[in-house]
Chains A and B, each alone.
Chain A
C-alpha cells in the first residue's frame, strides 16, 4: 500500500519512516512525501493510481490541505484515493469543510500513531 504524506514540516518524513519502520521493512507499506499541496498534485499526476491513501496537513504555505483535497476528489477518480486530513486545527469549521470536500477521515495533531495504524489496517 502506497501512502502519500503531505506536510510542510520536513521532520514529518523522518517521523513517519521511523514510526512505520517495521511496516516499511516488511513491505507492508510504502511512503512518499510531498512538502506542499502543489508538490503533492505533481506527484499524483506523475504517479497515477500509485498512492491509494493520502495523509495531508491543512495549514501549509501556498496551496492549503483543503484545496488539495478538493483537487484530488475532483480530478483523481476511478477509484478516488482515500484522503485523511491530519491537522493541528481541530476546530469544527475545518472539520466540516474537510468532510464536505470529501475527506475520508480527520485526525488531529499531536498524532496518535497507534490510532493511525488501526485506521490504515482497516483500509488495508
Chain B
C-alpha cells in the first residue's frame, strides 16, 4: 500500500511541476505587458503565490514587485499585504531584522482607518470582497506571529496568531481562520499543551475541509501527525504524514514537503529501515536544495546533510557517510554563524527599536505635555474670559437693577406727587369757590360783630335814658347776632377742615378689612347720627351683603369715609319727594336706602342706592367735582363726592353713579381684590 502511494507520488510530481512552470511563464509574460493597476498587482500576487512555499528567493522577488506596484499606485491595502508577504519570506530566509521592519510598516498602514478609503483591489489569495484593511491587519499579525516563532518568543507568537484568527473570523475570511488555527495548534504543541494543540489543529482541519483553499492542507496533516507523535500514537502520526505528503506534492509546498520527509527519515532511521531512511533523507535534501538554504529553519541544508550522513551510516556506506558528515559540519557551522548573526541583528534591531520607541514615546509625552499645557492655559484663558464676561454681565445687570429700582422709586414718588398735585390743582382751580365758601360766613361774622358793637352802644344810650323795653329788644338782637356769628364761624371751620382733608397726602396703611362689617357700621352710624339731629327723620334700610367677600386690603378709614359719605347722601336724598325738587317734600313715598356688597371675579362691588328724586342729567357729570353741591348753601361743602372719588381712584377702583330723575340714585364702588 505504502509502496503504491510512493509510486503515485513520484509519477505525479514532475507532471505537476511542469504544469506550474508553464503557468508561471505565461503569468510572467502577462506581468511584463500589463500596466500598473489592480490587474497587474493581481498577476504579481498570483506569481508570488506559486513561489510562496516552493522558492524563497523568487517569492521574495515577486513580493517586492507587488510592493512596488502598490506603492506606485498609492494602494495602501495592497502595500500592507505585500509588506507582510515580503516579511514572511524574509522570516523564512532567517532575515528577521528586515522582516520586522516590513511588518512594522505593514502595521502602521493596516492600523490606520484612512487605509479603508482606498478603492477596492483584489489583494487576497481567494478574492476577498470585504474590509481589505482588516484583512491586511490580520495578515500582518499572522506574519508577525511566525517571526516570533522563529525568534523563539512563544508568548508573542500565540498572542498574534490569536489576533490574526480573531480578525479573520470578524471579516469572515476562511484562509485566515484556517491558518491561524493551524499555527495555534503548532504553537501549543511547542509548549507541550497537546489537548489545546489538537483542538486548534482539528478546527483548522474542519475549516479547511469547507474551503477551496487547500494549499496548507498538507501542513495541517503534518501538524496533526506531530501532535499524535507527541501523544505516542506512532501509527496515527505516520498516517497523517503520508496523507500530508500527497497534499504538499499536489500544491508544491516544498517547505512542508521537506519537513515531512525529515520526519519520515527520522522515523525510519529510528526503526532501522535502511532503504526507507536513505530514501526519505535523499528526498529531504532535494526538497531543501530546491527551496534554497534556510538558516534557523527546522529544515535547512545542514539538517539535510546530517540525515544523509546518518542514513549512509545505517546502510554502512561509510565513504558517503563521511562525505555528508563533513558537509553537514561545514554547513551547520556557517548556518549557525548566520543564524547567530541574524538573531543578533534582530535583537539589535528590537533593542534599537525599543530605544527608538522610548524616544518616540518621550517625544510624544513631551508633545502631549506641551499640548496639555497649552490646552490648560487655553482653558484657563477661556475660563477667565467667561468669568470676565459673567462678571461684566452681572455688574451690568446689577447696574441695570439699581437703575430700574431708582426709576421705579422715582416713578412711585412722581405718582404720589401727581396725586397730590392733582388735588392741589383742583383746589387751585377752585380758589374762587373756596373764596365764596369762606367769604360768605366771614361776611356775616364781620358785619354781625360790627352791628353788635353799634347795638351795644345804642343799648348803653337806652340804658341811660331808662328805656328798658328798647334795651331788652336790643339785647335780644345782640344775642341772636352772636348766635349767627357762632354759626357762620363753625361753617367756615367745617369748610377749611374739609379742604384740608381733601388735599391731605394719603398716608394711611392698607390692612385687611371686612367690607360687610364696615358698611354695616357706617350705615348705623349715619342713621343714628341723623336721627339725633332730626327727630322726624326716618328711612327704611335694606341690606344685601355677600358673605363670600372675606377681607380685602384697603385703607380702612378712607374707604369708611367714602361709604359714610355715600350713605349720608342717600339718607339725605331718600326722604325728598321724588317729584317737585328739594323743597316741599310731602313724604308720600317710603324713603328707602339699599346697601349691598357683591364679589364679581376679582372685583368687590359696593352699591348704595336711594329712592330720592335722582340727579338731574345736566349735573350728573359735575357731582364729583370739588365744591359742587346741590344742597342748600351751608348744608354741604361740596367736597364729599370729590374726596370719595379720589379715595377710590387711589385704591385702583372706580366710583360710578347711575341715576334717573324721579326714581333715585345708585352709587357703585368697584374695588380690586
Contacts and interface: CB of A to CB of B under 8 A. Distances in A.
B451 interface: yes
A9 interface: yes
B436 A89 contact: yes
User: Main secondary structure on chain B at its contact with chain A?
Assistant: helix
A46 interface: no
Contact of B484 (A14, A87, A90): A14
Interface residues of A, number: 20
Interface in B409-451: 432, 435-440, 442-448, 450-451
A88 B448 contact: no
A111 B633 contact: no
A110 interface: yes
A90 B633 CA distance: 19
Interface string A74-99: 00000000000001111100100000
B447 A110 contact: yes
Contact of A91 (B432, B477, B488): B432
A93 B484 CA distance: 31
Interface residues of B, number: 26
Given A18-B455, A90-B435, A91-B432, A9 B440 contact: yes
A88 B451 contact: no
B493 interface: no
Interface in A35-90: 59, 61, 87-90
B633 A61 contact: yes
Contact of A61 (B438, B481, B632): B632
A90 B437 CA distance: 12
A111 B445 CA distance: 11
A15 B440 contact: no
B439 A108 contact: yes
Nearest to A90: B435
A9 B633 contact: yes
A88 B488 contact: no
A65 to B, nearest CB: 12
A88 B488 CA distance: 15
Contact of B488 (A8, A11, A61, A94): A11
A78 B30 CA distance: 153
Contacts of B437: 88
Interface in B222-248: none
B481 A18 contact: yes
Interface string B460-497: 00000000000000000100110010001000000000
Interface string A108-124: 11110100000000000
B330 interface: no
A108 B446 CA distance: 13
Nearest to A111: B443
A9 B634 CA distance: 8
B436 A15 contact: no
Contacts of A111: 443, 447
B630 interface: yes
Contact of B435 (A8, A89, A113): A89
Q: Which of B443, B477, B488 has the most CB of A within 10 A?
A: B443
Contact of B439 (A8, A19, A110): A110
Nearest to A18: B451
A8 B448 CA distance: 17
A88 B630 contact: no
Contacts of A88: 435-440, 443
A89 B632 contact: no
Interface string B595-638: 00000000000000000000000000000000000101110000
Nearest to B581: A62
A110 to B, nearest CB: 4
Nearest to A113: B447
B444 A11 contact: yes
B435 A110 contact: no
Nearest to B629: A61
Contacts of A110: 439, 442-443, 445-447
B432 A89 contact: yes
B633 A8 contact: yes
A49 to B, nearest CB: 30
Contacts of B451: 15, 18-19
B439 A18 contact: no
Contacts of B481: 14, 18
Contacts of B440: 9, 88, 109
Interface of A: 8-9, 11, 14-15, 18-19, 59, 61, 87-91, 94, 108-111, 113
6 closest A-B pairs by CB:
A88-B439, A88-B436, A110-B443, A109-B443, A110-B446, A109-B439
24 contacts: A8-B632, A8-B633, A9-B440, A9-B444, A9-B633, A15-B443, A15-B451, A18-B451, A18-B455, A18-B477, A59-B436, A61-B630, A87-B436, A88-B435, A88-B437, A88-B438, A89-B436, A90-B439, A91-B432, A110-B439, A110-B446, A110-B447, A111-B443, A113-B447
Given A89-B436, A90-B439, 11 more contacts: A9-B444, A11-B444, A15-B448, A19-B451, A61-B630, A61-B632, A109-B442, A109-B443, A110-B446, A111-B447, A113-B450
